[in-house]
Structure 1
């Protein structure tokens, strides 16, 4: 309870302080998910600045400036029947705190460096995952140099998100974000962008400045392009290569070399917005040849009901699984580095060996946003198991049942301003025949309350 009281006190403090400060600077700053992309105006000098802007703009000179910022996110999360079972303790509520603090230095129009420290803490949870706790770590630290109007070079540690985040995302849902030590070269015009990169994933550890790095037993590289046909119509095409030693699937553990070739098309036709993606994977897993694929379809329309706008949409995916563990072929699709909350913050099923249908409705009432969704899950292959969000084999194939579960969820969010928000998410999962025959037959309940303050 002391942790909860501290969280409430801190939230109230920042609401009072940040609301006053940001009210004075209304419209000046816009904070992005990746804070290096914040909209922060350049200043000629620091004369006459309010106390907030004086702290924000620590250093200003002609064509140069150093700005500071950060965020705090607190979460209270709880499960009932976490593993689809009433056995064991059910009062499992835990509290997560994530603090990020950054400094962004821009020298002229071509050079910049960005440094971001993080501290992700948790209390009340016994079985910690690598994404729950990291006492003190370097989340991002990179330099960028604009070689010309067309080319930009970046080197260092970064959070990255490609496309819609289906394959590569910053993992915003969990307590510890995903970072890569990488070098990247960007080419960009008004209608075409290309990103080539080589990276090593950073392995989070729970202590201070002890994250694993530069082991090279896992690397990730590729070329990602975007062609813009119009503001609301563009095509992504990419080739990605992942090397991972000791990968684990239903068919066993071995070294993996996987190539992903994909395309994603986003557009609008007669009031309908679509976001469709197809990926084919090849390579090797030990002495097996990889042949895997996924097809993702999403369509959304804005409807007016009783004078209110509602976004109504449906997502559906078919994701391949292994057909036969002895045929010399690996058919399990690997989603690489997706967001941890792929199907909601409950994150019980990951995007491998899966068929899902996911309708949803969302709307906003001034500062209040609401979303209600439903998802149904099936196994694509009866010879393969069901994988978790971190590509772990959480539910091995122990029966011939295809239907996994029904999931219902909601998200209610309220934004006091562009810097302060509160969100409540709830999920209920009803086990299907696959889980029930594995002795996991109790309904799972999940709730998470999130407060975030950016400054």
Structure 2
């Protein structure tokens, strides 16, 4: 079945490449706009004077006020590790190939009603330990209807990808091969300075096959109220409340029902020429017989320099609580809910729980080339808790009292060939600290990812 899906994707790409090239080389009128977004339902597509077949299918008139648009993307990645578990004596055949193809249709009926549908095929080869985020042969990634009651209120029902705020707790999960979807009902209020979103959602449980994902899986539900307020041109806030229920959740070798409420505040904007983005979250609830009391705080500040070659220097730091002790009937480990898989780069060795990190970076753009260098130092917040992976499963148990986990150095180079085609190379090196070294995992880890993506 994987060979069939791969063949279909290749045929799609062979068909579309000439159309993409034609659309890129064709002289467009100023009124024609193609702006692609991560969430393709947010694309900015304006085709007043189609110049070719590709532009015609981007905006098909079905009446005076009804339009239909088609599009999609194909992403290919090569990912490789050396000493993936900080141990050079393990099997070093750690490289694999990831393919992701998506195709969508967007129907707009005036300014009141829209339907958006998107299919996804995510394949992986040469990888032995395949995770749910690596493979899903064919699935409905998004399928929802939205109705605009008036200038302020709209309602959405169906399946969609989401990203709220900076994606600390709810994200599209763009880094891994399979995106995260929710079956949900959502009501939203917006005006010039305010957006308030409320929803009840059930995360889709990914399977490896064709149209076999579990819909309306009620073992896990998530509801939220998210309020974004633009107070001035330079000062903004997010206030939010998330409530998550999950039956038979596994946490640190214990399985129990988890009822968790997260209260969050995000403050972001500009001050004295600096961009800032600060966030605090507190969690309470019950995990089995244990009382939940966990928190995280994140600070981000950066400065843009308008030089001959513009560049930005920034720094991030955060503290994420871990469990103080295993026998006090209180769980202090923070649950990041549905974060992006590549939380600290695509290397994704450490997840957002029981962690302190300091993360300076510098980035620049030279023509069509984007360059970024960063450094991250990691410590355990609590020495009685272990180090988690991005799925919030303990990868490295608390076998010693050392706090320092390691140093990570990363580099990303991206090249945007045109509106349709982009390339990116990311590399990371992690030097184990005392905690990993004393756990017999003291060898330097190397990680590389090459990505090419076509959007159409």
Which residue in the other structure is 1:272 paired with?
Answer: 274
Task: Look up the match of 2:197.
Answer: 195
Query: Post-superposition shift, 1:13?
Result: 8.2
Looking at structure 1, the residues matched to 9 and 184 of structure 2 have their Cα atoms a distance apart, in angstroms, of 35
Q: CA, structure 1 residues 141+361, in 2 after alignment: closer, same or farther (shift >3 Å)?
A: same
Partner residue, 1:439: 440
Give the unaligned 5+ runs of structure 1.
none
Unaligned runs of 5+ in 2: none
Assess if the C-alpha contact under 8 Å between 1:378 and 1:404 holds in 2. yes
Report the CA distance shift for 1:368/1:9 in structure 2 as closer, same or farther (over 3 A).
farther
1:240 to 234, 239, 242: 242
Q: State the secondary structure of the residue aligned to 2:41.
A: helix
Aligned match for 1:52, one of 34, 39, 54: 54
* Counterparts of 1:329 and 1:170, CA distance in 2: 31
CA distance in 2, matches of 1:7, 1:101: 10
Distance 1:356 1:12, change over 3 A: farther
Deviations 1:50-106 (A, max 9, x none): 111123234432000110000000001100111111123313221100000000001
Partner of 1:172: 174
SS in structure 2 opposite 1:61? coil
Aligned length: 450
Whole-angstrom distance in 1 between the partners of 2:11 and 2:156 = 40
Name which of structure 1's ranges 241-250 and 95-104 shifts more when overlaid on structure 2: 241-250
Asked if residue 395 in structure 1 is aligned to residue 396 in structure 2, the reply is: yes
Match of residue 33 from structure 2:
28
Structure 2 partner of 1:41: 46
Distance 1:325 1:254 in 2: 15
Deviation at 1:310, TM superposition (A): 1.1
Which stretch shifts more, 6-15 or 205-214?
6-15
> 1:14, CA displacement in angstroms?
6.0
Secondary structure (helix, strand or coil) at the match of 1:394 reads strand
* Maintained 8 Å contact 1:379/1:403: yes
1:406 to 2:407 alignment: yes
SS in 2 for 1:296: strand
Residues 250 and 396 in structure 1, CA contact (< 8 A), matched pair in contact too: no
**Offset at 1:25?**
6.0
**Structure 2 Cα separation of the partners of residues 261 and 234 of structure 1:** 17
- Alignment pair present for 1:367 and 2:368: yes
Tell me what 2:351 maps to: 350
Q: How does 1:72-111 map to 2 (within 5 A)?
A: 72-111=74-113
TM-score, normalised relative to structure 1: 0.95
Displacement after TM superposition at 1:12 (Å): 9.1
How many Å apart are 1:121 and its aligned residue? Answer: 0.5
- Residue 431 of structure 2 is matched in structure 1 by 430
Equivalent-residue separation in structure 2 for 1:258 and 1:41 (angstroms) = 43
Aligned partners of 1:9 and 1:107: how far apart in 2?
A: 31
Tell me if 1:331 matches 2:332: yes
Structure 1 residues 269, 15: closer, same or farther in 2, change over 3 A?
farther
Q: CA RMSD in A?
A: 2.2
Structure-1 residue corresponding to 2:226: 224
Closer/same/farther in 2, CA of residues 431 and 14 from structure 1, 3 Å limit: farther
- Tell me the SS of whatever aligns to 2:57: helix
- Runs of 4+ residues over 3 Å off in structure 1: 6-17
Paired residue for 2:422? 421
Supply the distance in 2 between the matched residues of 1:174 and 1:92 (Cα, whole angstroms).
16
